[in-house]
Chains A and B, each alone.
Chain A
Amino acid sequence: MLERRIDELRTAVRLAAVAGDRVNARALRAELRRAEDAWERALTALGEPSPMPPALVAVGSLLPVREQVHHALTLLTVPAAPRLIVAVHEAFFSGEMVSARLTSLRRDEERSFRSAPYARPYYLCPALTADMLAPARGLLTVSTWSVAERIVGPLSLRVHFLTAAIRVADAVVRLDAPRPATGHLLRRFAANIPGAIDGAYTPMSVAKAARAELVVHEEADRYARDEAARRAVRLTDVQRLFGARLGLVGDEAGEEATG
């Protein structure tokens, strides 16, 4: 049913494009995209393994992957790499997160924003590099964060690492029954924070050690990011969310045409 509709739309788009009717073609394309999205969703829902009866399935696994990523990022409050997002999800949320799906996520979000700006309450977008405001490789953020929060300067990776450690430690304290994955995640942070595993090793001690180092970098990092954020005012909405690419005028136009 859906597939037939997609095929019909494709034909209509082609006809409109050939006839030079651009306005109509654009509207049809948007509709086609929606139909394709629905088709994708239906397919994903089919592919999801559900060994348990529906009543017993944890809520997390029913959430789309972008919701899961959003939860993990909201817990961390800083830009994070897919690996960390998956680890946080495993440690604190239920259901399985397929890391392979994260790779296509960013492009899907950008496409969705371009076709219908601000139609969703939030978008998952890349972090921006402080020097060029270009998309930073492999770091995800949430569009509702301020631009300064989404920028990564030279010191930011460390600052984000320490901030994430504090958030994770705080979350572990709040947990009633910690899971093995939680301890594993915290230990990963603790191993690379000076003073975190000396003496008594508790979530509180990890957070304390991370705060102690954070004080050293925080100010310089904030300064660099605020400065970059001021420059970001000049960007268009799409560029501000998904990054400005340098010298890719042709590609940008190409994306517009195909996306």
Chain B
Amino acid sequence: MSAPAEEALDRIRGDAPARNHNARTISALTSNPGCNRRAIMDAAGIDKSRLASYVGFPAQFGQSQFAITRGNVFEAQVKADGCAELLTLLRERLALALPEVSYDDLELVGGNTSPELRHARTKTLLARAAAGLDDAGTLFDHPLLRLSVGGRDVYLEPDLIAFQWKGQFHVIEIKSFPVIDGQADGEKVAAAVIQSAVYVHAMRALLADQGFPSDVVADNVVLVCPKDFSNRPTVTFVDVRKQLTVLRRQLSRLTRIDVLLSLLPPTLSLSVARPAAAVVADLRRIEARYMPECLDTCDLARFCRDESHGCTRVMGHTVSEDLGGVETVETALGLARGTLPPSPEQEDAASLLRLAWSLREECFGGVA
């Protein structure tokens, strides 16, 4: 990142210390790649939740304590006794050979939890395993990975197991949402997969540093979830190539933050030390792209939702795609009633709207 950009980001952030990324925030980057507001705030390391409460829209979500406990219990169960349940599953599904049971925990190195030490040890062990030496290990729990995000190095505190099989690493992610009859909640899978993609990306970066090709980490991640309504784990393989592409694009976008910054006035600042009204005015100067999904991933979503009130985008992907070229609800209603002449690019949407309007009139007649 260039020095002026660094300076501009520091000014935008104000005096507050920069917030670090984790797998969750990095994966959130990819859910709405078109949002400049989020891109700038993430690059500057702004505490979004604090900013949101400052401008009057405190974030009202957070993970439920019950969900966290449930997740931890299931993970402990799968990992108990040297990953006994996990080994059984892998042996059944992959025909993993009997001698492949080695397990290394990288959460503590000699009773020490310092990230530098853990990262160094992760590097040594994974490189040894990648080189395919004898007794190089099969399961590596809690490897500490590092990723460069927007020019800063970020340690990822991962909840994953790196699983080495036939000279290739797979990321194993243990999640507590159920897979019922081979089907799981699409949104939850998507979130888990994108997080795994972050880990795949970081692991590849780590091994690439030591001269290993990228295919040493597999495109397939192993998702371990409870099966049906039981507590028994089941294994699913998920291809993360698409998510990896999105992730790479988004990460490279963070480093090209200079372009985005050049579009903004040079005095813009989101420091919470300034009056709220001034911060709101500056926030509005950065283009946002609100979508209903933002509510799940971004602390500032309520502010953006309020701002884009009256836009067709607020109603989600399907509606805004059907109404391509129609930006606001008011225009949509005008087109439907025929009070507004459609421009050439609005023709398709307008005919659809007029049809919908006539159907509605037929149904309700004069009642509505």
Is A248 within 8 A of B101, CB to CB? no
A contact residues, range: 20 to 34
Q: Which of A172-218 contact B (CB under 8 A)?
A: 191-192, 194, 213, 216-217
Binds A, one of B43-51, B106-114, B173-181, B328-336: B106-114
Q: Which of B49-84 contact A (CB under 8 A)?
A: 80-84
Is B82 within 8 A of A157, CB to CB? yes
Complex alpha-carbon distance, A83 and B81, angstroms: 10
Is A63 interfacial (CB-CB < 8 Å)?
no
Q: Which of A80-99 contact B (CB under 8 A)?
A: 81, 83-84
Is B105 within 8 A of A137, CB to CB? yes
Determine the chain A residues whose CB is within 8 A of the CB of B111 once the complex forms: 132, 134-135, 243-246, 248
What is the distance, in angstroms, from B133's C-beta to the closest C-beta of chain A? 13
Is A155 within 8 A of B91, CB to CB? no
Q: Which of B88, B112, B137 contacts A191 (CB 8 A)?
A: B88
Is A158 interfacial (CB-CB < 8 Å)?
yes
- Once A132-B110, A245-B112 are accepted as A-B contacts, the answer to whether A161 and B82 lie under 8 Å apart by CB is yes
What is the distance, in angstroms, from A138's C-beta to the closest C-beta of chain B? 10
Is B366 interfacial (CB-CB < 8 Å)?
no
> What 1/0 flags go to A74-114 for Cβ under 8 Å of B?
00000001011000000000000000000000000000000
Determine the chain B residues whose CB is within 8 A of the CB of A160 once the complex forms: 81-82
Is A161 within 8 A of B107, CB to CB? no
Is B135 interfacial (CB-CB < 8 Å)?
yes
What is the distance, in angstroms, from B105's C-beta to the closest C-beta of chain A? 7
What is the distance, in angstroms, from A133's C-beta to the closest C-beta of chain B? 8
Closest chain A residue to B134 by CB distance?
A220
Mostly helix, strand, loop or mixed at chain B's interface?
mixed
Is A64 interfacial (CB-CB < 8 Å)?
no
Sampled A-B contacts (23; CB under 8 Å): A83-B80, A129-B110, A131-B110, A132-B109, A132-B111, A134-B110, A154-B102, A154-B103, A154-B135, A154-B137, A155-B103, A157-B103, A160-B82, A161-B81, A191-B85, A192-B85, A194-B98, A216-B98, A216-B99, A243-B111, A245-B110, A246-B112, A247-B112
What is the distance, in angstroms, from B74's C-beta to the closest C-beta of chain A? 14
Is A134 within 8 A of B108, CB to CB? yes
Complex alpha-carbon distance, A129 and B84, angstroms: 19
B contact residues, range: 20 to 34
What is the distance, in angstroms, from A131's C-beta to the closest C-beta of chain B? 8
Is B117 interfacial (CB-CB < 8 Å)?
yes
Determine the chain A residues whose CB is within 8 A of the CB of B98 once the complex forms: 194, 213, 216
Determine the chain B residues whose CB is within 8 A of the CB of A156 once the complex forms: 82
Complex alpha-carbon distance, A154 and B109, angstroms: 14
Closest chain B residue to A164 by CB distance?
B81
Is B81 within 8 A of A192, CB to CB? yes
Is B6 interfacial (CB-CB < 8 Å)?
no
Determine the chain B residues whose CB is within 8 A of the CB of A216 once the complex forms: 98-99
Is A192 within 8 A of B88, CB to CB? yes
Complex alpha-carbon distance, A243 and B135, angstroms: 25
Is B135 within 8 A of A244, CB to CB? no
Determine the chain A residues whose CB is within 8 A of the CB of B105 once the complex forms: 137
Determine the chain A residues whose CB is within 8 A of the CB of B282 once the complex forms: none
What is the distance, in angstroms, from A49's C-beta to the closest C-beta of chain B? 27
What is the distance, in angstroms, from B125's C-beta to the closest C-beta of chain A? 9
Closest chain B residue to A194 by CB distance?
B91
Is B228 interfacial (CB-CB < 8 Å)?
no
Closest chain B residue to A137 by CB distance?
B108
Is B104 interfacial (CB-CB < 8 Å)?
yes
